[in-house]
Structure 1
Amino acid sequence: MEEYTKNTTREQLELKLGEQLNALISASHALNVRTAARFDSTLQPAAFLIIRWLFSFGPTNATVLAESTAMDRSSVSRLVNQLKRLGYVKSETSPDDRRGVLLSLTELGRQQTMDALIEKESTFYKRISKWENSELEKFIKLLNKFNGNECQ
């Protein structure tokens, strides 16, 4: 690990932070693409974003999915239709608004997601497996602070 001295300028530190964040984002993206392929290699990785969102947050409508995944509504609609044809997603009438439709994972979609995420999580767990609890706690605290969640 690189040592930083009192002579290291703020600008140099911010550049080093940018490099590390870029490395994290790039590695995370590559891992997400591999996880998507593990879920179903015939799908575009964007389809797995929808699957992952439904897995994490539960049933929702297409508008919320589009906003939450930063995709346009037509792309979400096309991907959801493909996921429905493959048996990963189902649509049901909303209990709150009988005209609305809620999208959710099928049992097959849920199981495939869990199987794919086990591999993804093992990559992260392997990276932190030799960390002391105190290092992990500090890392979590700093990430929380960086993400603007200091109160949590």
Structure 2
Amino acid sequence: MNNNTQNKNANRIQLELKLGEQLNMILSASHALNVRAAARFDSSLQPAAFLIVRWLFSFGATSATTLSESTAMDRSSVSRLVNQLKNLGYVKSEQSPSDRRGVLLSLTELGQQRAMTALEEKESAFYERISQWNDSKLENFIELLMDFNDYNNK
């Protein structure tokens, strides 16, 4: 391997390390905001319960199986958390219209209202970071994130 190739490889490694640092910062900040939003939603619940609330808020009614798969939680954890959310009046279950044996979980009106309030803090923290960006910079950032997330191939 010649020096030029070694320099390119070393440069690429440094760039990938910098990317990893930046992604870690985003993930850490997002996690901290999720924990704060979860406490704002209902401080008596574990933050994991708020993952379920956020999923239902974003995507609507679904089965416990889909919640389990989508949140990377085992079925027993989802079941336990959903029962807590139901007992507090945040989640309801209804018979699936397409499969009479299936049950769909969704947020109650109270759950939706509390979720919106809890998410305001998280959204404001992220919006504050981009508030000074012009539209072109924001569009570029979105495009890069879509490429990174492989959005175009889904």
Assess same fold via TM > 0.5: yes
* Residue equivalent to 1:52: 54
Aligned partner of 1:24 among 23, 26, 51: 26
**Deviations 1:37-92 (Å, cap 9, x if unpaired)?**
11111100000000001111111111111011000000000000000000000011
User: How many angstroms apart in 1 are the aligned matches of 2:27 and 2:90?
Assistant: 27
SS at match of 2:150: coil
Query: Which residue of structure 1 aligns with residue 127 of structure 2?
Result: 125
- The correspondence for 2:98, drawn from 96, 99, 102, is 96
Aligned to 2:3: none
State the partner residue of 1:64: 66
Runs of 4+ in 1 over 4 A off after TM superposition: none
CA distance in 1, matches of 2:97, 2:148: 38
| Separation in structure 2 between the aligned mates of residue 96 and residue 83 of structure 1, nearest angstrom | 24
Residue number among 107, 110, 113 corresponding to 2:109 in the alignment? 107
TM-score when scaled to structure 2? 0.91
Secondary structure (helix, strand or coil) at the match of 2:106 reads: strand
1:107-127: CA deviation from partner (whole Å, max 9, x where unpaired):
000000011111111111111
Unaligned runs of 5+ in 2: 1-6
Q: C-alpha distance in 2, partners of 1:142/1:99?
A: 43
Q: What letter matches 1:57 in structure 2?
A: F
Give the drift of 1:133: 1.1
> What RMSD over aligned residues (CA atoms) do the two structures have, in Å?
1.6
Paired residue type of 1:114 = M
* Higher helix proportion (structure 1 or 2): 2
Shift of 1:151: 6.3
Rounded Cα–Cα distance in structure 1 between residues aligned with 2:60 and 2:130: 29
What SS does structure 1 have at the residue aligned with 2:151? coil
**1:74 alignment partner in structure 2:** 76
The C-alpha deviation readout for 1:93-142, integer Å capped at 9, x for no partner, is: 11111111111100000000011111111111111011111111111111
The alignment's TM-score, normalised by the length of structure 1, stands at 0.92
